[in-house]
Chain A
Amino acid sequence: MSALFAPTLAARDRRFGYAMAAPAIVVLAAIILAPVALALATSLFDYTLMNMTFDRFIGFDNFVAALSSSEFANSMVVTTLFVIAVVALEFVIGFVVALMLTTVKRGKNIYYLILLIPLLINPVVVGLIWRMLLHPTLGIVNWLLGGIGVPDIDWLGHPGTAFWTVVLVDIWHQVSFMAVLLTAGLSALPTEPYEAARAEGAGTLQTFWYITLPLMKPVIAVTLLIRLIFAIKTYDLIYIMTRGGPGDATDLISYYIYRSAFARLNLGEAAAMAILLMVIVIVLTLALFRTMRARG
């Protein structure tokens, strides 16, 4: 009997481990769990900036209001399209750049530096710079295109083009993130499988398909996941470049939540939408992890 109560070495190790991790867990709880819990509470009350009290409990009314709003539905659709577009395109471009970088022999650091520059710029600044460059009559982009006979393009004033303009600017800003992470992954791959493949006479495409891709799977999963989560949260670019317009063509969910809270002063409904968004991100994360692990 007493053996059961006497702490084994492993149990003592585990307890010591918890003790060491405790401060970090407390800090994480304070800065992540507490705000999430507060948001969850806020979403269940009629809580507005005009009346900042938890007086009126309204259950799931805020969620119902959000889900039945056509503006919310539209921003969900726009956000989904935006996320698919930027993540897919940035992944493809980023992977190509990464593959090219691994074959570079000289001046690799210079390429890295150039790639990192957009990534180091604040999104607000990126938005402002591109708004200026893309000004239809005074910007340099249309001026250069005019030089080769292209008529002035309405980059941000037409719903279809505005969406793709924002996607392109996001790619310009974020593609290096993919490229840098994937390059790091590629440079860590073992060389033996490639030597074996070459000895067996495998071509470039075959090597890529049967060796590089399977080996890269964990890195790809993490890269896609991080980019996906950040893309869902895109806010700054929209605020600076389009304010969700023209019409509602670029009304991303984060910008809509911001307006619910600060233009409509309805923190309760904004919190409800933020919770819905968080659930979606968590589900996506789990799904992506599972598929990647299953195939890996």
Chain B
Amino acid sequence: MRVNMLLAATALVAVPMLAHGQTISILMESVPDTRFVQEVVPQFTEATGIEVDIEVVNYAEMHAKLVPQLVAPEGSYDVIVVDFYWVGEFIKAGWLQPLDDRIAESGFDTSVYVPVLFDLVGQVDGTTYMLPFYNYAMGLTYRKDLLEDPENQAAFEARYGMPLRVPETWEEYKNQVAFFTDREAGFYGVVNQGLRPDPIAMEWSNYLFANGGQFHDENWNPTLTTPEAVQALEDYKMMISEYGPVGAASFGFDEAFNVAAQGQAYSYLTYNMFRTAYDDPEISAVVGKMELAPVPNGGLNGAWGWAIPVSSPDPDAAWQFLQWIESPEIARQRAMLGGSPTRFDVFDDPELNATYPYYPALRALLDTAHNFPVFTYTPELVDIMGRELSLAVVGDKTSEEALAAIQEEFTELARRDGKIE
């Protein structure tokens, strides 16, 4: 009874407050950057009186949860976060609100964003639909201690006639992988993530760019049967079979990361957010020994963006939140907690650079990053690539056959999307 009275009293007090304030709902993925948002959000509620309800789910569930809300006349999410994967589909379906008027009206500065990220999760064909949230561009993580060891440097130079340094060419990197592999000692030059569909498709994209290949020419004609693409797949197969641990053909990023974090591999080409995880003694045996560098010739870009869906119940409050969460001060706070930056002002912040010495490497990584083809059928392309690349890795198809199959289906998808005739 007393509890009921207490509840009733609380409700009486709370109702007038709620009448003023509103609540906005956001669906987010359970990743570190979401946690950093949750940590700063009370400041927003304090400043504006708007409550923020963040629903956190697994990546696998997100798409299936979002679509019904996006097609509804009024969905339950005021703000959503969009993986670059979905951008083509969401724009094509007309699910996102253009933000240009709001940006102009409130004088929000979008020039602070690193251009390659704003192209990926900001603008589409000249219209701004999103604000970049965090980046997950891929880079080389490697054993700095081994690379800087004078004995290794002398031995490497003697064998390959080139200095042992942070690799500036793909050839250098491949030599390093071969040099450090010692199968008998259980130490591998590289660990790969060969699991279907996105781990292998994303990782191999770096090999494609590193070999000078591209997904398509400027007119969207797929270019995956070029000698560069074939060499990229040959390289990838070689890494797994000759220089990688048993089982890499089935590793997701968690298994591959663990091999590197347990000190069993010289290098792992992966999402930059793992860089901080290597320094966590709870999960890593190589604290202070791993460093991040760009993939020679540029690796694969990746990022999430903030967006307001057309079905947003309260787009004005949603924009208020976006402006706040992407304001210089809050962006800095999130980066301080370990968030993965997207903006020049954060990258140039002296205090952040002192805390995170790998910021220049991360910047270099973004400056050289290449984007994955973003169009309506991106998820389908990833699925096709996953299947064919995996078939090539296990030897059921030759590199040429697998790439020809991807080329054919990619061409068909681009045609269906109106990208080519």
Contact = CB atoms under 8 A, between A and B. Distances in A.
Interface of A: 49-50, 52, 71, 131, 135-138, 152-159, 162, 242-249, 251, 259, 262-265
B contact patch SS: helix
B394 A263 contact: no
B235 interface: no
B163 to A, nearest CB: 31
Nearest to A52: B71
Contact of B390 (A131, A138, A246): A246
B396 interface: yes
Nearest to A263: B383
Contacts of A263: 197, 379-380, 382-383
A242 B379 CA distance: 18
Contacts of B93: 50
Given A154-B246, A245-B250, A263-B382, 16 more contacts: A135-B255, A136-B245, A158-B249, A243-B195, A244-B387, A245-B194, A245-B195, A245-B394, A246-B250, A246-B394, A247-B393, A259-B383, A262-B64, A263-B197, A264-B377, A265-B380
Contacts of B197: 243, 263
B370 interface: no
Most chain A CB atoms below 10 A, which of B63, B255, B259, B262: B255
Contact of A247 (B258, B262, B396): B396
For chain B, which range describes its interface: under 10, 10 to 19, 20 to 34, or 35 or more residues?
35 or more
Contact of B247 (A154, A259, A262): A154
A131 B249 CA distance: 13
A152 to B, nearest CB: 5
A136 B247 contact: yes
Given A154-B247, A247-B391, A249-B394, A50 B196 contact: no
A245 B196 contact: yes
Contact of B255 (A131, A259, A264): A131
A157 B387 contact: no
B247 A156 contact: yes
Given A243-B196, A244-B387, A259-B383, A49 B247 contact: no
B247 A137 contact: yes
A246 B264 contact: no
Contacts of A154: 246-247, 249-250
A156 B258 CA distance: 16
B391 A248 contact: yes
A3 to B, nearest CB: 59
Contacts of A156: 247, 250
30 contacts: A49-B67, A50-B89, A52-B71, A136-B245, A136-B246, A137-B186, A137-B246, A137-B259, A138-B255, A138-B259, A154-B246, A155-B247, A156-B247, A157-B250, A157-B251, A159-B394, A243-B195, A244-B387, A245-B194, A245-B250, A245-B386, A245-B387, A246-B194, A247-B390, A247-B396, A248-B390, A248-B396, A249-B394, A263-B382, A263-B383
Interface in B234-277: 245-251, 255, 258-259, 262, 264
Contacts of B396: 159, 247-248
B92 interface: yes
Contact of A245 (B246, B379, B390): B390
A265 B89 contact: yes
Contacts of B128: none
Contacts of B248: 157
Contacts of B71: 52
Nearest to A266: B380
A155 B245 CA distance: 12
B264 A137 contact: yes
Contact of A158 (B64, B376, B394): B394
Contacts of A153: 246
A238 B41 CA distance: 38
A138 B245 CA distance: 10
Contacts of B259: 137-138
A65 to B, nearest CB: 13
Interface string B186-227: 100000001111000000000000000000000000000000
A131 B63 CA distance: 25
A63 B391 CA distance: 26
Contacts of A264: 377, 379-380, 383
B31 to A, nearest CB: 18
B262 to A, nearest CB: 6
Contact of B386 (A52, A137, A243): A243
Interface in B33-81: 63-64, 67, 71
A263 B196 CA distance: 13
Contacts of A159: 394, 396
B254 to A, nearest CB: 9
Contacts of B89: 50, 265
A245 B199 CA distance: 12
Most chain A CB atoms below 10 A, which of B195, B262, B379: B195
Nearest to B247: A136
Nearest to A241: B250
Interface in B87-113: 89, 92-93
Contacts of B195: 242-243, 245
Interface string B352-383: 00000000000000000000000011011011
A230 B246 CA distance: 32
Contacts of B393: 246-247
B392 to A, nearest CB: 8
A81 B177 CA distance: 39
Given A157-B246, A263-B380, A138 B194 contact: no
A-B CB proximity, top 4 nearest: A136-B247, A156-B250, A157-B249, A157-B250
Contacts of A155: 247, 250
B382 A135 contact: no
B60 to A, nearest CB: 8
A165 B361 CA distance: 41
A264 B382 CA distance: 10
A50 B67 CA distance: 10
Contacts of B64: 262
Nearest to B67: A49
Contacts of B194: 157, 245-246
B203 to A, nearest CB: 14
A262 B22 CA distance: 34
A159 B390 CA distance: 10
A133 B232 CA distance: 32
Nearest to A155: B247
